[in-house]
Amino acid sequence: MRSGKQGTSVAEMAFHGSAMEQAGSHDRARALNAFRLGDRAFYWITRISAILVLLLLGGIIVSLIVGSWPAIVEFGSAFLTTQRWAPSAEPPVLGALSPLYGTILTSAIAMAIAIPVGIGIAVFLTELCPLWARRPIGMAIELLAGIPSIIYGMWGFFILGPFLANTVQPFFIDLFAGVPVLGSIFGGPPSYLSLFNASLILAIMVLPFITAISRDVFATVPPVLKEAAYGVGCTTWEVVRHVVLPYTRVGVIGGVMLALGRALGETMAVTFIIGNSFRITPSIFAPGTTISAAIASEFAESDGLHQSSLMLLGLLLFVLTFFVLAAARLMLLRLEKKAGKQA
Partner 1 sequence: MNFFKAIAAAGLVAASASAFSLPARAADITGAGATFPFPVYSKWADAYKKETGNGLNYQSIGSGAGIKQILARTVTFGATDAPLKADKLDKDGLLQWPMVMGAIVPVVNVEGVGPGELVLSGELLGDIYLGKVTRWDDPAIAKLNPKLKLPSAAIAVVHRSDGSGTSFNFTNYLSKVNAEWKSKVGEGTAVEWPAGVGAKGNEGVSGNVGQTRNSIGYVEYAYAKQNKLTYAALINKAGKTVQPTVASFQAAAANADWAHAPGYYVILTDQPGEASWPITAATFILMQKEPADKAASTEAIKFFKWSFEKGGKMAEELDYIPMPESVVKQIETTWTSEIKS
Q: Are 90 and 327 in contact (CB under 8 A)?
A: no
Q: Pick between residue 138 and residue 161 the one whose CB is nearest to partner 1.
A: 161
Q: Pick between residue 124 and residue 155 the one whose CB is nearest to partner 1.
A: 155
Encode burial over 68-98: b for 16+ CB neighbours within 10 A, e otherwise: bebbbebbeeebeebeebebeeeebbbbbbb
Burial class (CB in 10 A: 0-12, 13-18, 19+), 14: exposed
* Smallest distance, partner 1 to C-beta of residue 50, A: 20
- Which residues contact partner 1 by CB under 8 A? 60, 84-90, 157-158, 161-162, 189, 191-193, 265, 267-268, 271, 275-278, 287, 289, 292, 295-303, 306, 314
Length of the chain: 343
Q: Pick between residue 23 and residue 93 the one whose CB is nearest to partner 1.
A: 93
* Smallest distance, partner 1 to C-beta of residue 60, A: 8
Judged by DSSP in three states, 64 sits in helix
* Smallest distance, partner 1 to C-beta of residue 149, A: 8
* Smallest distance, partner 1 to C-beta of residue 300, A: 5
Q: Pick between residue 58 and residue 162 the one whose CB is nearest to partner 1.
A: 162
Q: What single-letter amino acid sits at 44?
A: W
Q: Pick between residue 33 and residue 277 the one whose CB is nearest to partner 1.
A: 277
Q: Alpha-carbon torsion 246, 248, 249, 252, what sign?
A: negative
Rounded Cα gap, residues 186 and 298, in angstroms: 29
Encode burial over 179-199: b for 16+ CB neighbours within 10 A, e otherwise: eeeebeebbeebbbbbbbbbb
Q: Pick between residue 253 and residue 293 the one whose CB is nearest to partner 1.
A: 293
Adjacent-strand bridge partners of 94: 85
* Smallest distance, partner 1 to C-beta of residue 7, A: 23
* Smallest distance, partner 1 to C-beta of residue 69, A: 18
